[in-house]
Amino acid sequence: MSGANPRPTDLPEDSMLLALDTLCPMHCLVDESGHITHCGPTLQKLRPQVTMVGQRFLEVFQTTHPRNIATLPDLRNAAGRRARLRLRFRSAPRTDLQGVLVPHGLGGAIINLSFGISILDAVRDYALTNTDFAATDPTVEMLFLVEAKSAAMEASRKLTRQLHIAKIAAEEQAFTDTLTGLKNRRALDHILNRMIEAEQEFALMHMDLDYFKDVNDSLGHAAGDHVLTQVAQIMVEETRNEDVVARVGGDEFVLVFHGLCSRPRIEEIARRLITRVEVPMPWQDQTCRISASLGTTLSTDYAHVQAETLLADADAALYAAKRAGRAQHRFHDPPPAGALAAGAGPATGS
């Protein structure tokens, strides 16, 4: 009939191949000799360095099911039994494929291939996109879902990182003195408890600024803040990275020297701090003059180390230094032998 639609075999060969490329982008045509005469664009994309046309199909692909497939007639017979073909490339990457075969011509075949469950690996290995699949292929929808999931997971990872950074920043802010940037009392308590639980040895030094009130009263709080930040910088410069410097009051500081319990070395550090703090500090057109008194106790002097006891004993040694004339450093005397068993000692300075 003149008005009837043409059958596929009535289509010009070029139009038929174009239709196959669109509907089955991973197909190939094999002639009766077993050679590939045409392959879809996506199938060719999997081996961009090799022209598949002209290659023997069974030299490019290895069949894994059914087994013992050596010739194209074997493949045609397998298709006649409605067996699904399972294949893989003979060269790397040896991507697993599955396919169906339809006899074509006098002894050839049309073989349409797909990735099956290896689709995600294939997308990664060959950088495939939705344009490499037929528009009606459910793989396109799966790729969309995978991309959506990847985007959601990446957004989740970014949000998690941002929350983690915000958490760290909040914790850091909670443990930081806003004026000087040093640790605050809360951070000091946390660090001391952690060191004591780990049975680490350390020295604890309490430092108080002499004449600081005079600076505040005569030059104002801005001058006082300037002095505090300068003193904080001095303490950071005179201590190691592993040491702790904390501001625990208006002009009171605590230094914790990790693993350092040598009295001569502690005395040397105290002398340097006293000397540097006594250097006049310019403030606008005025000069701020202060000094520092320090008291130190050692964790190794206690049978049972408690943060409250060390802080109290360092404070007692500090006031002994002030009574000695200020700009002084004193060690807390170790408790008597009888008091060691109780983990307590007299709060007096040497």
User: Among all residues, which ones are annotated catalytic?
Assistant: 251
Give the span between the Cα atoms of 30 and 234, in whole angstroms.
84
Query: CA 72 → CA 29, 36, 84, 86, 184, distances in Å?
Result: 12, 11, 15, 15, 81
Buried b (16+ CB within 10 A) or exposed e, 36-56: bbbbbebbbebeeeeebeebe
Two tokens, residue 207: 């430092």
Residue with tokens 């300075």: 349
Cis status of the peptide bond prior to 103, with omega within 30 of 0: no
DSSP-based three-state secondary structure for 142: helix
Q: What is the DSSP string of 103-162?
A: EETTTEEEEEEE-GGGHHHHHHHHT--GGGS-TT-HHHHHHHHHHHHHHHHHHHHHHHHH
Residue with tokens 């307590």: 344
CA trace torsion 225, 227, 228, 231 (10° rounding)? 160
Relative to beta strand 291-298, strand 281-283 is unpaired
Closest CA to 252 of 202, 204, 306, 294: 294
- Yes or no: say if 81 and 101 are a contact pair by the CB < 8 Å rule: no
Residues 6 or more apart in contact with residue 71 via CB below 8 angstroms: 34, 58
- Yes or no: say if 101 and 75 are a contact pair by the CB < 8 Å rule: yes
Distance from first CA to last CA of the chain, Å, rounded? 121
Give the span between the Cα atoms of 63 and 127, in whole angstroms.
25
